[in-house]
Chain A
Amino acid sequence: MTKHNTYRAGADEDGHFGIYGGRYVAETLMPLILAVETEWNKAKSDPDFWKEFHYYMKHYVGRPSPLYFAERLTEKFGGAKVYFKRDELNHTGAHKINNTIGQILMAKRMGKTRIIAETGAGQHGVATATVCALFGLPCIVYMGATDVERQSPNVFRMNLLGAEVRPVTSGTGTLKDAMNEALRDWVSNVDDTFYIIGTVAGPHPYPTMVRDFQSVIGDEVREQMQEAEGRLPDTLVACLGGGSNAMGLFHPFLDNETVEIIGVEAGGKGIDTDEHCASLTLGKPGVLHGNRTYLLQTDGGQILDGHSISAGLDYPGIGPEHSWLKDRGRVNYVSVTDNEALDAFQLCTKAEGIIPALEPSHALAHVAKIAGSYPRDHLLVLNMCGRGDKDIFAVAKHLGIDMGDTDQG
């Protein structure tokens, strides 16, 4: 599939990145998946499709997001020049909207009139509910019952936007179960429904389609860094749950071999404990949710729940292209713990006046570890993929601060 001289040619026509990816879905869904693929192949080479996509990126999402030189943190770390790609400034406060705009345009092209989505922390749910409001389509969001409780402000936001949030109690009531339930809905409503998947996972063509929408991040960084420093960045760092913000930043740079690329997984309470979400670091290849990829699972192939302080990283799998990039050695995947992320969250807030989401706080925690070891002219880009307003209650709880009646967040 991939030519030897490029990391960017995948997936192949069957949706595989090496042994990863694929289309492991029930027959009832196969014709739908194939229809999405056919339409996607048309859309991606249709200039009008991209024109409309970029129209919304500019006027609705607020792109390009700035590439900001984090001078105070750079001083503190005493090494690499640290830049933030400010995707937390997007409309709805995270990178998720890049993808939901793209997919709702796909749904519109396909004449679908009902939208479903899964969500963990609620960011993808909010981004989906937002584009459904914008395009006047009914929206149903599946969310693990545990997450509905933990993330009640996002549930309320989705409701305000007109979406119906369906709590999922099946399985263990978490993000993976929300995805199962969304797939069950799709199987039951094949004629009118489009499933907006929130990350670079799922059956082909979702991993490549979502990647191509999120690549707006990396494409902008390339241009902005050229403008700021006259050259390519040296190191890219992003956090991974399913891996969409990371893939969006990384993909445009994969063939620039001088660019070091680092993905940061959620180490939870530590990767020497059972409570983490480091699928690439500690999982093994398996098949779930339509694709083969690294998964947290038992010796018998049962899927385990991930654990992370950040609900957005709490997925036991990872996009299949990341699995392939790991095996090829092109991207270095590491993990940081809940506590390290909490420290980075506070550091960033105080030093830069930016409250990061807990997800990119993981990436920043790793930057804090490595930045000092680089020379002063080393250009490092961190994807600040979400803002932390949603997380202040969780953080307060961990810091032992009583927020009164609103402690649910």
Chain B
Amino acid sequence: MAQQTETRITKMFDRLKAEGRGGLGTFITAGDPDYDTGLEILMGLANAGADMIEFGIPFSDPMADGPAIQASSLRALKKGMTLAKTLNMVREFRKQDDVTPIILMGYYNPIYIYGIDIFLADAKEAGIDGYIVVDLPPEEENELCKPAIAAGMNFIYLTAPTTDDERLPRVVENASGFIYFVSITGITGTKSATSADIAPHLERIRKHTNLPIAVGFGIKTPKNAADTVKVGDAAVVGSALVKVITDNLDENDNPMPGIAPKVHKLVSELAAGVRSVNKRIGA
């Protein structure tokens, strides 16, 4: 197993354990629906109850994402969002919050084109704690995983229901921070799995690693989130938050007033769901 660098991510999971509860991860696409509104949404996530923030790098071809996140990516790009501006937003966030972990999530090409060494330096300085890069499986670990760990950040691997026992050791070998379990075989925001579906997979994964496990894809409601943290260490919600943005745009994709508070309201509800589950040993 990879050397476990201490980051805001590992500290957060330690805190959750001490508090005896599961965590809430929230995904939004950087710069959706535009830079200013996106920043307002980002700034309020932790106060609304998000334990960690997955911050999506907009990409023209998000092939593991469903319609909601695809559209959010294209909206952000249309408004001129870039990876450099994404890091700027994180710098803004860090001025007020040095505790909540931020994980950049997305596809490899924008990072590759930015240049790995300079990107890792800029991201670290901006306050990024880890990476989830959908199209970098362990087979391509030399690209970003190993350099990111060497630079003192976490590289989080996805595991899926299709990741069988034979393959799991390979996937967790260099994983750090936590394991992200993709709870369905599908794209984001479509199907949903029940905690009964998820539990056997998590049990399987835990035989191969001591890392905490966050569960994502298809978690939409406070009840889904609560069910998820009964078996997982954290629940990640993305498409449902993005949908709040989508539902509050005018015909030109410009944000209608009050969009950020609406996103934050759903985050609070999800957080309440997550916090309703007591995970203290023996509870």
Using a CB–CB cutoff of 8 Å, the interface residues on chain A facing chain B are 14, 22-32, 34, 170-171, 176-177, 179-180, 183-184, 187-191, 284, 286-290, 295, 297, 299-303
Contacts and interface: CB of A to CB of B under 8 A. Distances in A.
Given A31-B163, A32-B162, A26 B113 contact: no
Given A180-B61, A184-B187, A288 B109 contact: yes
A183 B139 contact: no
Contacts of B191: 188
Nearest to B190: A188
Interface in B102-140: 107-114, 134-137, 139-140
Contacts of B67: 170
Contacts of A179: 63
14 contacts: A23-B140, A24-B137, A26-B158, A26-B160, A28-B185, A30-B163, A179-B63, A180-B63, A183-B64, A187-B64, A188-B185, A286-B113, A287-B109, A289-B61
A167 to B, nearest CB: 14
By CB atoms of chain B within 10 A, which of A25, A177, A183, A297 has the most?
A: A25
Contacts of A22: 139-140
Contact of A288 (B61, B114, B182): B61
A299 B137 contact: no
Contacts of B77: 302
Contacts of A177: 61
B13 interface: no
A31 B164 contact: yes
Contacts of A287: 107-109, 112, 135
B82 interface: yes
Contacts of A286: 109, 112-113
A26 B158 CA distance: 8
Contacts of A301: 59, 83, 109-114
Given A184-B63, A190-B185, A27 B139 contact: no
B186 interface: yes
Interface residues on B, range: 35 or more
A171 B107 CA distance: 15
Interface SS of chain B? loop
B68 to A, nearest CB: 11
A28 B160 contact: yes
B63 A24 contact: no
B60 interface: yes
Interface string B55-84: 000011111101100100010010000110
B70 A171 contact: yes
B61 A303 contact: yes
A127 to B, nearest CB: 23
A5 B235 CA distance: 54
A45 to B, nearest CB: 23
B229 interface: no
Given A28-B185, A188-B185, A171 B60 contact: yes
B74 A171 contact: yes
Contacts of A188: 185-187, 190-191
A29 B139 CA distance: 12
Nearest to B64: A26
A24 B182 contact: no
B167 interface: yes
Counting from the closest, the 8 A-B pairs by CB-CB distance are: A301-B113, A301-B110, A28-B160, A188-B186, A302-B60, A27-B158, A180-B63, A24-B135
Given A287-B108, A300-B82, A190 B162 contact: yes
Interface string B189-223: 01100000000000000000000000000000000
Contact of A176 (B61, B110, B163): B61
Contacts of B136: 24
Nearest to B71: A170
A28 B185 CA distance: 7
B167 A31 contact: yes
A143 to B, nearest CB: 16
